[in-house]
Amino acid sequence: MANELAAGKCTQSIIKKQTVNPDAPTVSVVIPLYNKGRYIARALSSVLTQTYQPLEVIIVDDGSTDDGPEKVLDFRDPRISLLRLENGGPGAARNAGLAMAKGTYISFLDADDEWLPPFLETGISFLEDTTPKVTGVWTGYYRYPSMRKNNAEMKDLAGVYEINAETSIALLRNIVNFIWTCTAVMRTDMVRKWGGFFGQYKCLTGEDRYLFLKILFNERIGLIPEHYGIYHIEASDLCHGPGPCPDPVPPYLADCSDIAAYCPESKRDLLYELLTSLALEKAMLLTYSGQTEDAKALINRFSGNAWRNPMRFAVVSLLVQLSPLVPAARWCLHLLNKSQGTPDLILSAPSPFPARKNKGRRSMKTDQ
């Protein structure tokens, strides 16, 4: 089935029809569209062949210059609406769809990706279960064309999670790496409560994690390890090649003040540790792609807690400093970033964040 969907061969006839129940919870689907005329029909078909049918499908045309909007109009389904905007980036486009959404639940799909038929039904069933009482659910997904599973190295990650001050940084990093915009089903009012996606300066990367960090530190969530989405890497406009790829600093690292303001005080130290870990990882990637000054700025901004991993801090800092002079240092950073132990990367230097006390922590996973 996954290969058939990936090839665009799945048809309505092979999908189990949903029994219409007027009392069933409703779900809105939002698809931001920008110059994805080659793929939008595939994405829309995967929505319309869901075993749990959506109330509405909101396509937000983010200033496309190709035939994508016309491809949408070819679908004669009254549930599909097309909203045309000037180009503002994926975060702003998703937020425009969020503002229109009428469903109890909401899910976002990129125009070049797709869902397997049980995706919505699986997510909504989890959300409707009154025992865990979660407000957002994420499933696993495949990376096309390899069909590699996103959680291949996180097989034990499943169930209900509620982050607290004692949650281990390793578990938190795994959760952050597991979740993806296109395999989330969330309460619409919850997404609105936390302000939606980052929608400024046409941001193309990290606009989703900016929202998800707020959710993770404030809500109870569910993770489903089975794979119900297909991420089409070959169709993405972002760089996925083997060599260096210029990449901006994501908004949650450029300015984390808004995220920190929403984070409960008891969990703020953990948030700062997570952000510092992500910043060091990002600094290595920036250096590998030749953006040494950006890497240095991140190292200067995110600091403290060097005692947790002084050797890694020393190695990364040295390689960042040497990279303009020794090109091989960039490859060393690339290899270091791919090595095990990345979730525990912590920096040192004067820090804008309060120092964290040295204490043991345990993972927190609730019983379903």
Cβ partners under 8 Å of residue 340, min gap 6: none
Q: Are 42 and 114 in contact (CB under 8 A)?
A: yes
Q: Per-residue confidence of the chain (368 residues) as pLDDT tens digits?
A: 344 333 333 322 223 344 456 678 999 999 999 999 999 999 999 999 999 999 999 999 999 999 999 999 999 999 999 999 999 999 999 999 999 999 999 999 999 999 999 999 999 999 999 888 999 999 999 999 999 898 877 778 999 999 999 999 999 999 999 999 999 999 999 999 999 999 999 999 999 999 999 999 999 999 999 999 999 998 877 554 455 566 799 999 999 999 999 999 999 999 998 998 898 889 888 888 888 889 888 888 887 656 666 776 777 777 788 877 655 555 566 666 655 444 333 333 333 344 444 333 434 455 44
Burial 228-253, CB ≥16 within 10 A → b, else e: bbbbbeebeeeeeeeebeebebbbbb
Q: Is 12 exposed, middle or buried (0-12, 13-18, 19+ CB in 10 A)?
A: exposed
- Report the alpha-carbon distance of residue 103 to residue 26 in Å, rounded: 5
Could you identify the residue written with the tokens 């799909």? 109
pLDDT recorded at residue 305: 59
pLDDT tens for each residue of 1-50: 344 333 333 322 223 344 456 678 999 999 999 999 999 999 999 999 99
In the chain, ranges of CATH 3.90.550.10 domains: 2-11+24-235
pLDDT recorded at residue 307: 60
CB atoms inside a 10 Å sphere around CB 106? 27
Residue 305, phi-psi category: left (phi > 0), alpha (psi -120 to 50), beta (remainder): left
Q: Are 36 and 111 in contact (CB under 8 A)?
A: yes
Q: CA-CA distances (angstroms) from residue 107 to 150, 181, 289? A: 19, 8, 33
Phi, psi (deg, nearest 5) at residue 270:
-65, -40
CA 204 centroid distance within chain: 12
- Report the alpha-carbon distance of residue 230 to residue 140 in Å, rounded: 9
CA end-to-end span of the chain: 30
Homologous superfamily of the 2-11+24-235 domain (CATH) = Spore Coat Polysaccharide Biosynthesis Protein SpsA; Chain A (3.90.550.10)
Residue type, 16: K
Report DSSP letters for 274-313, one per residue: HHHHHHHHHHHHHHHTT-HHHHHHHHHHS---GGGSHHHH
Q: Is 66 exposed, middle or buried (0-12, 13-18, 19+ CB in 10 A)?
A: middle
pLDDT recorded at residue 339: 58
Map residue 183 onto helix, strand or coil.
helix
Average predicted confidence (pLDDT) for the chain: 83
Map residue 32 onto helix, strand or coil.
strand
pLDDT recorded at residue 116: 98
Sign of the Cα torsion 93, 121, 217, 298 reads: negative
DSSP state of 12: G
Closest CA to 114 of 147, 78, 91: 147
pTM of the model: 0.83
Residue type, 171: L
Q: CA-CA distances (angstroms) from residue 22 to 13, 51, 163, 285? A: 23, 16, 35, 50
pLDDT recorded at residue 250: 96
Residue 10, phi-psi category: left (phi > 0), alpha (psi -120 to 50), beta (remainder): beta
Which helix (H) or strand (E) is 321 found in, with range? helix 310-322
Q: Before 310, cis peptide (omega within 30)?
A: no
